[in-house]
Amino acid sequence: MKASIQQLQDSLARELGRVVIGADAAVRQLVIALVARGHVLVQGVPGLGKTLLAKALARALGGEFKRIQGTADLMPSDITGVHVFDEAQRTFVFRPGPLFADVVLVDEINRAGPKTQSALLEAMEERQVSVERAAWQLPEDFLVIATQNPREFEGTYPLPESQLDRFMLRIDMDYPAREAEAQILSRYGGVTLAAQAALADVTALGRATLAEARAEADGIRVAEALVAYVLDLARASREHARLTLGLSTRGALALLKAARITAGLRGGEFVTPDDVKEAAVSVLAHRLVLTPEAALEGTSDAEIVRTLLAETPVPR
């Protein structure tokens, strides 16, 4: 019998596969984020199905789903909510914004201005929203899935480092393989709204499955040597010559959590260095800030992570 984490991945892959083609790697990373209660940043050029993937995930998880479209004129109050005057009660009442949902899709987050991006920080970290000196709690399984276009596209704003650090991992979506793209054209090439029809077929997973997977992940053992390995990677990033900002303590914690869940995905009872390496790029890359020289040379954050993994001694 498969472990709970493996069962969760199989179920999610089956349901998302009804809508999204060729996204097996993304599904694996989404499982890690779900079990760890982490938020997800999905990055790629326009038109690769990032929004469709987020919608399908929301439907598979069940609960309430809200969508926020990032635009230059989007204000913080548009997502947190506002107080409006109620004529019947003769007083001001709070009208919650779209952040009050189980799954929130922030589409093209880097098209929103810095103030609105910053308004997401408290919600993502504290799972609450502060409006007019009052704190409002968000749902227990509150999850932000943000899609982002590359920074060099016109009309986008770089996300602040403090906000990037709140995303547990980043999923980089690339152009699909030729076979997968052929299936996409065949399935969605008609004039009807085939994608919407496919979304309707997605069945929500039971909350018990997710709870069991989380309990299982908590029981996966982590040796002291593996904790030291994660700390060595963090230290190496902070001292790397081509980085101006290395891994934070929050990032080190995220890497350790992701490694435990990665171990669970292979059916393991303890974490190995290979589990850390497998999770490293998606958890670390978006948290690192390159020096101007490295950026001008075209070095990517993912390349820096691979360099760190190659240069940091692995525990026996």
**CATH classification at residue 147:** 3.40.50.300
The residue count of the chain comes to 316
* Residue 62 in tokens: 């069940």
Domain boundary among 163, 195, 213: 213
**What residue has token string 């276009």?**
149
262 is a domain residue? yes
Q: Which tens digits make up the pLDDT trace of 73-102?
A: 899 889 988 878 878 877 888 888 999 988
Domain boundary among 156, 185, 213: 213
> Hey, which of 69-83, 152-166, 229-243 has the most confident mean pLDDT?
229-243
Name the helix (H) or strand (E) containing 145: strand 143-148
CA distance 15 to 204: 8
DSSP H helix total and E strand total for the chain: 14, 11
Contact call for residues 159 and 118 (beta carbons, < 8 A)? no
Confidence of residue 154 (pLDDT cuts 50, 70, 90): low
State mean pLDDT over 205-219. 87
75 is a domain residue? yes
The model carries a pTM of 0.89
Burial 59-86 (b: 16+ CB within 10 A, else e): bbbbbebbbbebeeebebebbbbeeeee
What is the pLDDT, as a whole number, of residue 102?
A: 86
CA distance 85 to 178: 56
Q: Which domain holds residue 16?
A: 4-213
- Dihedral, 113, 242, 124, 85 alpha carbons, nearest 10: -20
**CATH classification at residue 285:** 1.10.8.80
N-term to C-term CA, the chain: 30
* Residue 228 in tokens: 């030291």
CA distance 276 to 271: 8
316 is a domain residue? no
